[in-house]
Structure 1
Amino acid sequence: MRWTDYETNEFLLEQAGITSIEVMLIRTQLHWTGHMSRMEDHRLLKIVLYGELSTSCHKEGDPKRRYKDSLKQYLSLGHIDYHQWSTLASDGETQRHTIYSTASSFENAHRISLDEKRQCRKIYLSPLSPRETFSCVFCTRTCLFHIGIFSHQHACSKSG
């Protein structure tokens, strides 16, 4: 492959036989959390990880995102209940199998969704595909995009 080849990141990852960085992070987070859940309850690290903050520093309007929230999101990708995770993590072999199957299912679903998005873009941008056109109500001008006709109509209404 050369730098001038136009290939998607997903295609290159598949050709190289490696996983995306997002999947690596999910796998690492689930592995580390399984290790943390096996610790004794009085350990400071476990208290901080599973604890609730009385106050949080975040911008107004931003959600209060905690480690536990992202963990719940990743576990839901593998159809694992958050409350069952500590039981599941107590057995190392089951935990490893669950982590790899969750990461694999996430990666497959992510690649499929990216491929579908790409196909939709290619169909929409194809010169052979029929596009919706927008016509000005003041003159006969047509535009391919809604923002273009909106801008044109604004200018056309002032001049007319």
Structure 2
Amino acid sequence: MLKQRRLRWLGHVHRMDPDRLPGEVMLGQIAEAKRPVGRPFLRFKDSCKRDMNGFNIPSCSWEERAEMRPEWHRSLREGMIKHNELIRLDQLQQKRLRRAAGPPQESRHICDRCGRKCRSAIGLYSHHNRCRL
């Protein structure tokens, strides 16, 4: 949601008159500015480029899309849906892999009745209530 809002604000500022203060501050360059040694701090521009890559919006031609407000908002909505869907699917895949792997092999919580390995003490307690062997 934050990425979408950041890009919506970028499009809004881009459509503004260039003489207005938000456009000058956000999209302008500081004359003779030097950045510190090491990993530089992220600028607003850097964050927007990263967000555009995540939403599959080409960073070289975003200005043309931003000029047309409905198209810009549509591309942001579609990008957010695709981006969030990919993250959700990846999380589900990771959850499936963790489930398939089962409990850790070095589990200390082993049922004395059937030998089942549980992940936690509360899991073992719950299993004891159901275990009939």
* TM-score, scaled to structure 1: 0.56
Q: Which of 78, 81, 93 in structure 2 is aligned with 1:101? A: 78
State the SS of the aligned residue for 2:56: coil
CA deviation after TM superposition for structure 1 residue 42, in Å: 2.3
Alignment partner of 1:48 is 2:25: yes
Within a 5 Å distance, the mapping from 1:24-63 to structure 2 comes to: 24-52=1-29, 54-56=33-35, 61-63=38-40
Rounded Cα–Cα distance in structure 2 between residues aligned with 1:44 and 1:55: 22
Letter in 1 for 2:47: S
State whether residues 37 and 86 of structure 1, in contact with CA within 8 Å, keep that contact through their aligned partners in structure 2. yes
Letter in 1 for 2:76: I
After TM superposition, the structure 1 stretch with the greater mean CA deviation from structure 2, 97-106 or 110-119, is 110-119
State whether residues 88 and 95 of structure 1, in contact with CA within 8 Å, keep that contact through their aligned partners in structure 2. yes
State the SS of the aligned residue for 2:18: coil
Match of 1:65 in 2: 42
CA deviation after TM superposition for structure 1 residue 123, in Å: 2.9
CA deviation after TM superposition for structure 1 residue 56, in Å: 4.9
Q: Which of 121, 129, 153 in structure 1 is aligned with 2:98? A: 121
Match of 2:67 in 1: 90
Rounded Cα–Cα distance in structure 2 between residues aligned with 1:65 and 1:93: 29
Structure 1 residues 51, 118: closer, same or farther in 2, change over 3 A?
farther
Alignment gaps of 5+ in structure 2: 106-133
Rounded Cα–Cα distance in structure 1 between residues aligned with 2:52 and 2:82: 11
Letter in 2 for 1:75: M
Alignment partner of 1:74 is 2:51: yes
State the SS of the aligned residue for 2:61: helix
